[in-house]
Structures are given as C-alpha cells and as structure tokens.
Amino acid sequence: MTFSITAADPATGATGVAIASVFPSVGAVCPWASEHVALSTQAWDSGADYGEPLLEMAARDIALESAAEAVLDNRAGSAGTQLHGTEADGETYAYTGEKATDWAGHVVGDAHTAAGNTLAGEAVVTEMHEAFVDADGPLAERLLTALSAGEAAGGDKRGDNLSAAVLVHAPEPNLTHNMRVDQPGDPIDGLWDAYEVAREHTEAVDDPEEMAAEWGEGFDESIVDFEMKY
C-alpha cells in the first residue's frame, strides 16, 4: 500500500525520503531522517517503534544494517514489515518481509533505495530507482521526481493515493524539506505544488536586497533561518 525512496547526498550531507500511500497520513508514520540516516518503515508493522530506535542507534554510530537487524529480530510483526534506508555516507540497507503484501520488493542503488508493497508490479520500484539516478537538482526535487516515476509506473495496485510526503535533513534546512499532503486523489501532484511554493518563498528570503527592503539594513538572520521539525 506504500512506495518510497530513501537517499543521501554525501557531497552536501543531506539525507531524505519521499513516500506515497493509499494509507492515510503516511508522512506521520513511515519516513524518518536525521543527519546520519534516512529511512522508511512501511507495510503491516511500521512507525515509531522502528524509526525512533534506529535514529538513536545511528546517532551512536551504529551501522544501519546492524541496527535494523537488531530491531527486526525483536519485533513479532517483522515478517510483514518493509524497512529500507540510506546512511549519510551512502551506505544502504533494505528488507522486505515475507508477509508484505504482493507485489512487494526493493531495489538498492548508489546511495539510495526504493521499495514498495501492494504495488502494480516491480516496475514501480525500478522506475523510481532509474528516475532518481537520472534526475538533477536538490535532493528533495530528485526524490519527488522518483516518486512521480513510481506513480506513473502503476503505483499502488488499488488505485488513488491518500497521502504523500517528503522529508529531508540537511545542514541548511529550508521549507522544501518537510512537506506532507493528506488528501485523496493525487497527493504527489500536491507535493509538487507545495514544493514550488516553498522553493519560491525560500528564494525570496535568501535575497538580501528584498529582505532589507522589508526589514531595513542589518536585519536579524533569525527571521530567515527556519529550524525544521523532525
């Protein structure tokens, strides 16, 4: 019922996830990101019971593969779980439990992973992978491009998504890095609309002349620094 992509940009230190689902409010449950790792916990057994300990272990320099296997070994529902992620240095991990609903599977690429379950077919994850490799621009934009490619390849086999989200952790955060759309129909298109608005606003507040005209010379930088909530 969900397809997603995780990735890192080792050159900038950014990590991120983009995800869409027939499940409501997927952005509140499945994607997780920190300065160390980006990951998605999805399918039957998912959420904070996976995301929080994995982020904590990543902060203690425990490799994602070791951390994920430790968590999966202690979860009775892990056979129905899909868990994948990318560390800030580009190392990857992906797991699809045997009870994840068909079609379910994943692709691991260079500094990124794509995975999904209850999909129209394998092409959904392979198209996400290929689109990400071919995409240019900021990490958030590349993730959204991959998500759109997964939808174009058939997405969830049951039809329209209910929610979609993008979550990026970067040394210099901006408003394009944490967006959710929870609306039946085409929330991925909604994410693109939100991305464009957020990008335009970010460019405006990054223009010193425009901000000086609004606030006067010597304005406090705090008014244009957005501390993101993760």
pLDDT digit of tens for each residue in the chain (230 aa)? Answer: 799 999 999 999 999 999 999 999 999 999 999 999 999 999 998 999 999 999 999 999 999 999 999 999 999 899 999 999 999 999 999 999 999 999 999 999 999 999 999 999 999 999 999 999 999 999 999 999 999 999 999 998 888 889 999 999 999 889 999 999 998 889 999 999 999 999 988 887 666 667 667 677 776 766 666 777 77
- Separation CA 13–CA 37 (nearest Å): 10
Residue with tokens 């399918």: 43
Is 12 strand, coil or helix? coil
Q: Do residues 85 and 42 make contact, with C-beta atoms less than 8 angstroms apart?
A: no
- Separation CA 24–CA 13 (nearest Å): 30
Burial degree of 193 (CB within 10 A; 0-12, 13-18, 19+) = exposed
Residues 107, 42, 118, 167, CA torsion sign: negative
- Separation CA 194–CA 168 (nearest Å): 14
Task: Report the DSSP pairing between strands 37-43 and 31-33.
Answer: antiparallel
- Separation CA 62–CA 133 (nearest Å): 27
pLDDT at 97: 96
- Separation CA 96–CA 12 (nearest Å): 29
Written as six digits, the tokens of 186 are 């085409």
